[in-house]
DNA sequence: GCTATTGTTTGTTATTGCCAAACAGCGTTT
DNA sequence: AAACGCTGTTTGGCAATAACAAACAATAGC
């Protein structure tokens, strides 16, 4: 457990404020509410906000009683640079666009971060229903196609440890909510070389994901496609998965990594030890 | 001028550190260097970094002497939400993609922020040279097509004030480096309804931009296309501009604003006062 | 093996960020 | 119209806290 010391109080509160303003979105947030939500005085919140505004992290509109604080545009650059620093999005974008064009569906790529899969880029299909495809979204490990790809690729003990730590809350009637069921699905994922979310996170939504692997066979990213379950009959999944895997392999090879077939083969035979 | 008081010191230093880590990019940054660059002790920098890591703003790789700090993935979500809070990117993306498909070139959309135009979204063309199309990039007002669209649309006194404040540094031999030349170009921009950057910011690079206008005729955004100057003969510019304006108008109308023709007409006749 | 780094701790000081309360400005109500 | 209630902004004063310097452990490179 991380020690609570060696932390900067005012900075933590500033991040609380930024987070609150983020969820406020377009409407913006007010100083008084922010101060109360964070649990500090108005004056303290005021000083923090002034500092953040001077650096472009926040912006304000309106005057007097109608003043509202919103996220600032310096975050756009930081977010983009955070994606770049993963080192995969730049190479992935053209491949993602190819995939989207080939199958006519929005595709996304996610990387693993601590205990969740984070979407770092997407290629939107022209006429596609826009689900919650927000960048930076953290996909739960146990009920997302990308999450299960990462879990299946890592050592079994690590996967179990993560599942026990984060839990596996029931999101829909189809969510796999026992460790046994999840482990069985991870086995199936390894066998078929791709991960599936069959309405396990959101009713009516299905996902298929394939891994992107490094030179040592570890999963460095996962490419996924999301669509309405009713538009994806069960017998259409293998063909879709084949296309996703082909594009994911292109990315793996472009980065000097293993193909999906190689990586899963290695992973399956490593489970013995 | 903003008062230097009512600011939080530690928070400012934290933002310095984030900024330094951002420019370090893929290589990452080291604690000792960061502390020295910011001008604080290692212990202070350490506490700040620990706080930022606990919140996902930073991430670390390596152990011991090879430890490197990079931007964290929570910034991805914040950056995306900052774009969303402008309220234009969501509506703009499909239109931007249409424009890119129609002309075969990467298109971008920028909003005005204080004294620069900030790129908040882009639609990449399949086989296009990738310039510095980074999201969040701040385009200088005096030597970018989008910047000049914003300047031309605002009251003359405001534009001059901004130009005097930011200056108009010479970037290439073609950069307009006198106030008279810039004002003449803003006049031309108003007349022709689109802005041009003819190798004024970067040699060999040309841009064309059109405004997106609100209900009151103010410029809320600008759509631009960037390409190599040698691929864009002078007599091809009007046709390209016409296409850009048509798509920008679609966006303006979708948001309940004025068309380019209406907005520029109003703007030109307002200059009298 | 040693040296020169690194990131991580530890106390100690006074700087600094916090609170409470008073202020000015605006919108709504009385 | 004049009182109210609500903003965001400012002010002093106190003490919590973020800063420093220095010692620590652990590693990479010679």
Question: For B123-132, what is each residue's pLDDT tens digit?
Answer: 888 766 566 6
A79–B contact, CB cutoff 8 A: yes
Q: What is the CATH number of the domain that holds B26?
A: 1.10.10.10
Does B53 lie at the interface with A, CB-CB under 8 angstroms?
Answer: no
**Per-residue pLDDT, A4:** 58
User: pLDDT tens digits for A54-92?
Assistant: 999 999 999 888 999 999 999 999 999 999 999 898 889
Residue B39 shares a structural domain with residue B87: no
Per-residue model confidence as pLDDT tens for chain A (273 residues): 335 557 899 999 999 999 999 999 999 999 999 999 999 999 999 999 999 999 999 999 998 889 999 999 999 999 999 999 998 988 898 899 899 989 999 999 999 998 999 999 988 887 665 666 789 999 999 999 999 999 999 999 999 999 999 999 999 999 999 999 999 999 999 999 999 999 999 999 999 999 999 999 999 999 999 999 999 999 999 999 999 999 999 999 999 999 999 999 999 987 554
A49 domain-assigned: yes
Say whether both B39 and B155 belong to one domain. Answer: no
From the centroid of its chain, how far is CA B13?
25
The answer to whether residues A144 and A240 belong to one domain is yes
Q: How do residues A96-110 score in pLDDT, each as one tens digit?
A: 989 998 999 999 999
Q: How far apart are CA A12 and CA B48, in angstroms?
A: 9
Domain count, chain B: 2
B166 and B85 in a common domain: yes
pLDDT of residue B269: 87
Q: Which of A190, A187, A155, A184 is nearest to A261 (CA)?
A: A190
With 0-12 CB in 10 A as exposed, 13-18 as middle and 19+ as buried, what is B95? buried
Task: Give nearest nucleotide to B65 (CA–C1').
Answer: C6
Q: Are residues A132 and A20 in the same domain?
A: no
Provide the pLDDT for residue A229. Answer: 93
- Which residues of chain A make contact with B47, given a CB cutoff of 8 A? 6-8
Range of the domain at B136: 78-270
- Enumerate residues 6+ apart whose C-beta is below 8 A from A211: A149, A150, A153, A195, A219, A221, A222, A248, A260, A263, A264
> Same domain for B46 and B127?
no
pLDDT of residue A159: 95
- Residue B252 and residue B259 in contact, taking contact as beta carbons nearer than 8 Å: yes
Q: Report the residue count for chain B.
A: 273
Matching residue, tokens 């480096």: B177
Domain with B209 in it: what CATH number? 3.30.450.40
* pLDDT value at residue A273: 46
Bases of chain D within 7 A of a CB of the protein: 5-12, 16-23, 26-28
Interchain CB contact of A1 with B (< 8 Å)? no
| Chain A interface includes B42 (CB < 8 A) | no
Using the Cβ of A74 and the Cβ atoms of chain B, whether some distance falls under 8 Å is answered with yes
**Per-residue pLDDT at A114:** 87
Provide the shortest C-alpha distance from residue B187 to chain A (in Å).
Answer: 29
User: Measuring CA to CA, how many Å separate B39 from each of B33, B60, B158?
Assistant: 10, 21, 37
- Is A100 part of a structural domain of the chain? yes
* pLDDT above 50 for B96: yes
Mean pLDDT of B153-162: 94
Single out the residue in B47, B72, B97 at which a domain terminates.
B72
User: CA B133 to CA B226: how far, in whole Å?
Assistant: 9
Q: How far apart are CA B57 and CA B69, in angstroms?
A: 10
**Rounded (10°) CA dihedral B162, B167, B171, B176:** 70
A2 in a structural domain: no
Nearest chain B residue to A70, by CA: B85
Rounded (to 5) percent helix, strand, coil in chain A: 50, 20, 30
Output Rg (C-alpha) for chain B, integer angstroms: 21
Q: How far apart are CA A188 and CA A101, in angstroms?
A: 28
Let me know if residue A235 belongs to a domain.
yes
Please, which pLDDT band fits residue B141 given cuts at 50, 70 and 90?
very high
Give pLDDT, residue A65.
87
B162 touches chain A (CB under 8 A): no
C-beta atoms of A54 and B94 within 8 A? no
In this structure, are residues A227 and A198 in contact, taking their beta carbons and an 8 Å threshold? no
Cβ distance of B78 and A81 shorter than 8 Å: no
Place of tokens 């234009």: B88
Strand order in the sheet with A219-228: A138-139, A116-123, A107-113, A219-228, A205-213, A195-198
Do A95 and A31 share a structural domain? Answer: no
B127: closest CA of chain A, how far (Å): 9
Among B78, B93, B124, beta carbon nearest to A79: B78
A101 and A48: one domain? no
Which residues between 89 and 148 in chain A have a beta carbon less than 8 angstroms from any beta carbon of chain B?
A: 93-94, 97, 111, 113, 118-120, 124, 126, 134-138
pLDDT given for residue A2 in this prediction: 39
**Domain membership flag for residue A265:** yes
Residues A48 and A84 in one domain: no
Three-point CA angle A199, A205, A206, nearest 5°: 70
Same domain, A85 and A160: yes
Of A12, A76, A83, the CB nearest to B83: A76
* CB pairs A-B closer than 8 Å: 185
> Are B107 and B215 part of one and the same domain?
yes
Among candidate residues B72, B102, B127, the one where a domain is terminated: B72
For residue B2, the model assigns a pLDDT of: 39
pLDDT at B1 over 70: no
| Residue B32 located in a structural domain | yes
Give yes or no: residues A63 and A87 share one domain.
no
| Cβ contacts of B55 on chain A, cutoff 8 Å | 12, 15
Separation of A67 CA and C25 C1' (Å): 13
Is B89 within a domain? yes
Q: Which of residues 48-67 of B touch strand C (CB under 7 A)?
A: 49, 64-65, 67
* Nearest-by-CA chain A residue for B110: A73
Final residue before a domain boundary, out of A39, A72, A105: A72
**Partner-chain contact A76 B120, CB within 8 Å:** yes
Question: Looking at the C1' of nucleotide D8, which residue has the nearest alpha carbon?
Answer: A64
Q: What is the pLDDT of residues B200-225, one digit of tens each?
A: 999 999 999 999 999 999 999 999 99
pLDDT higher than threshold 80 for residue B158:
yes
Residues 17-36 of A with CB under 8 A from B: 18, 22, 25-26, 28
Question: Which residue of chain B comes nearest to A5, CA vs CA?
Answer: B47
B157 touches strand C (CB under 7 A): no
Q: Does a structural domain hold residue B3?
A: no
């Amino acid at each position: 457990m991380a020690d609570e010391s060696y932390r900067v109080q005012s900075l933590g509160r500033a991040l609380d404020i930024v987070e609150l303003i983020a969820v406020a979105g377009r409407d913006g947030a007010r100083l008084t509410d922010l101060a109360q939500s964070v649990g500090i005085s108005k004056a303290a919140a005021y000083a923090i906000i002034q500092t953040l505004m001077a650096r472009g992290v926040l912006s304000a509109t309106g005057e007097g009683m109608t003043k509202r604080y919103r996220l600032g545009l310096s975050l756009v650059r930081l977010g983009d640079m955070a994606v770049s620093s993963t080192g995969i999005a730049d190479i992935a974008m053209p491949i993602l666009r190819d995939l989207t064009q080939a199958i006519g569906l929005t595709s996304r790529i996610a990387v693993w971060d601590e205990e969740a899969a984070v979407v770092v880029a997407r290629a939107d299909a022209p006429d596609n229903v826009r689900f919650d495809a927000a960048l930076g979204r953290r996909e739960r490990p146990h009920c997302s196609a990308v999450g299960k790809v990462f879990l299946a690729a890592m050592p079994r003990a690590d996967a179990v440890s993560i599942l026990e730590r984060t839990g596996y809350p029931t999101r829909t009637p189809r969510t796999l909510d026992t460790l046994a069921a999840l482990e069985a699905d991870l086995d199936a994922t390894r066998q078929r070389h791709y991960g599936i979310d069959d309405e396990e996170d959101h009713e009516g939504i299905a996902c298929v994901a394939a891994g992107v692997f490094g030179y040592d066979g570890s999963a460095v990213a996962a490419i996924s496609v999301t669509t309405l379950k009713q538009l994806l009959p069960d017998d259409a999944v293998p063909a879709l998965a084949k296309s996703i895997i082909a594009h994911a392999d292109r990315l793996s090879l472009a980065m000097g990594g293993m193909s999906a077939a190689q990586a899963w083969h290695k992973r399956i035979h490593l489970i013995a030890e």
